[in-house]
A and B are shown apart, each in its own frame.
Chain A
Amino acid sequence: MSTTATEGTTARKWLLSYPTLMLGVFFVGPFGIMLAVSFFQRVESAFYKPAFVFSNYARLFSSLFLDNLAFSLYLGMLVAVISVSVAFPFTYLLSRMRMRTQTIWLVFLLSVLSLSEVIIAFSWSILLSRTAGVSNLLVWLGLMDHPVGLAPGFTAEVLGYCYLTLPYTVLMLYPSMSRLDPELTEAARTLGASPQRAFFNVVIPAMRQPIVASLILVFVFTLGVYLIPQILGNPEHWTLSVLITDQAVYQSNVPFAAALAVFLLLTSLALILLTFVLGARERIHTAS
């Protein structure tokens, strides 16, 4: 009996070492290389050479890059909040539809995922243009005097981001939402709560964890997007990812691009940790 148990543990150990290995090969390794490159010496008229210098990090502590980082984080949070606020009621209604309808919607959402960032950005820039965009439709309907161009602009950029993240958000919320016991809301209704009240006081608290997880996912996902702000945003709305691309691709300053990327990663990690710490403290608070 004990032998079988040991065998089971060994097998499980081997099995668990697989994700660790993959994480090492595909995440820790590349990240290590990036970290190392971020300390390399930039040779301005050529490329870079291996070294251990802090000049790349020193350069990013300027108002140019710090302001940009602040904007990128703000944009990430804004998009996360909008995306989850739109996706949550949608997913709630979706999970209450007939199975067949649900499947059709899910297949549709999955197919939206196959659109690349470039296609999304270009489509929105045409949809929001003065000459061919939706404002012409509004003029035709008599709702507007003359067509206006909204792209590039902040609204266009946020719309593009939300379009990109919405399917992910729905797919993140869907599993827990479909497992949510309908009796919970039924009980609330029996006790006299209005449907709105049941939704806000029962469904949302019960879904707190998936909501926080989706917010974090969208936030992190948004930080890595770099084509949408380029195409749909004005220069003042370019994110740090755009500047990283410019450094790596157009300035061929890979060490500085790596330093910016490490900085972005650490800042977002710190924010996510903060969310967890606050969440845990609140839970202790509620328990006591």
Chain B
Amino acid sequence: MSDETKNGITRREFIGAGLAGAAMLSMPPILRAQNRTLKVGVYGGYFKDSFDKHIFPDFTKETGIEVQSVAEPTGEAWLVQLQNAARAGQAPADVSMMAQVPRLKGANAKLWAPLDAAKLDNRKYLLDNFVHTYDDGSISGLGAVSWYITLVTNTDTYPEPPESWAAFWDPANRDKLGLLALVSNSFLLEITAKTFFNGHDSLKSEDDILKVLDKLAEVKPNVRLWYRDEGQFQQALQSGEIPMGQYYHDVTGLAAADGFPVRSTFPKEGGVLDSGSWCVSKASNRLEEAHLFMNYMCRPDIQAKLARRVGTAPTVKREHLDLSDEEFAAVASDKPPILPYYQMYLDRGDWLSDRWTAMITG
């Protein structure tokens, strides 16, 4: 046995390693940053695939920071996981795309690292409601993408598009609807309030909410499926099994482009505009990279690229975007949207979820 192998390394390997090390030290900083990584949580499936394909590689090319995308579940499951991990000092993702209710809950629990406004200059392009701050003015998150939930129909079953959300209540549509199963992701209360009452004003007290819930309960005979899993409804919509319902505007547009007989309609009351924001776990030790990433994602050209390639509605003001009218219409609408009443879920989420469950299971 020679001396080299006893030490576990041969002379040639040693020299090679030394040369590589010297080369690394002499490289310009941008290239050395190849070793810098950032774990970014995005919704698994289509979103993650699109970001991996269209967005992250260019970011890496520009900054040298390699993005490791993490598939996160929608809803609050990811919030629970991030919180549990942060208790143990771990960050399953440094930056995560969070829906607004879990984002607000995370902010209340101080789960998000406070960010430096000076390093996030591009936030000036964002719509005002997409810059989220803590009480001390530090930034807790920035709007990432937004999306519309619209009235979708199977074009074989419905040759004419419906005009109003009131179509859900039409007795002619008995056993034909697919609706989201949870109060906090269907926003059906807001839809009902806008269509038949006075919008958010009709959701301010428990008595008023119960009135809206009663009105909503009238759609039950028309509902064939209350879905939690998007795939379940999309498949049924495409095949005509369940020909009407609420679904995501962008995904429906993509399915239509693929030749499926489906369409997405912005009813006269407006589509529901929901959104996701970037937040950084307080357990992350990649704050520098996280700032660079979030600042990059706020750029109008990146937001336009997201609209074109991923199909999300921009969080940037329209005047900064170079989207054509057609490109804009594919992801959004100029009709005033129905905005989710997030505060209601924070203030009485438990009460609401019990009343909701009683309504749909009763």
Contacts and interface: CB of A to CB of B under 8 A. Distances in A.
A235 B350 contact: no
Contacts of B325: none
A238 to B, nearest CB: 6
B243 to A, nearest CB: 10
Contacts of A85: none
A76 interface: no
B120 interface: no
A238 B310 CA distance: 35
A158 B197 CA distance: 40
Interface residues of B, number: 38
Interface stretch (A7-15, A38-46, A100-108, A193-201): A38-46
Interface in A62-102: 62, 64, 68
B354 A62 contact: yes
Contacts of B80: 47, 248-249, 252, 254
B83 A47 contact: yes
A249 B75 contact: yes
B225 to A, nearest CB: 6
A125 B182 CA distance: 20
Given A45-B105, A249-B77, 11 more contacts: A44-B346, A45-B346, A47-B83, A64-B357, A129-B236, A230-B229, A231-B229, A249-B73, A250-B76, A250-B184, A250-B185
Nearest to B225: A152
A120 to B, nearest CB: 14
Contacts of A68: 361
A243 interface: yes
Please classify how large the interface on chain A is, using the bins under 10, 10 to 19, 20 to 34, 35 or more.
Answer: 35 or more
27 contacts: A42-B350, A44-B346, A44-B349, A47-B109, A59-B354, A64-B357, A125-B232, A131-B240, A131-B241, A149-B224, A152-B224, A230-B181, A230-B228, A231-B229, A235-B361, A238-B361, A249-B75, A249-B80, A250-B76, A250-B77, A250-B182, A250-B184, A250-B353, A252-B76, A252-B105, A253-B350, A254-B80
A145 interface: no
A236 B221 CA distance: 13
Interface of B: 73, 75-77, 79-80, 83, 102, 104-105, 108-109, 181-182, 184-185, 224-226, 228-229, 232, 236, 239-241, 346-350, 353-354, 357-358, 360-362
A46 B349 contact: no
A160 B76 CA distance: 27
A132 interface: yes
Q: 5 tightest A-B contacts by CB?
A: A46-B109, A235-B360, A46-B108, A252-B76, A131-B239
A98 to B, nearest CB: 43
Given A46-B109, A254-B80, A246 B239 contact: no
A252 B102 contact: yes
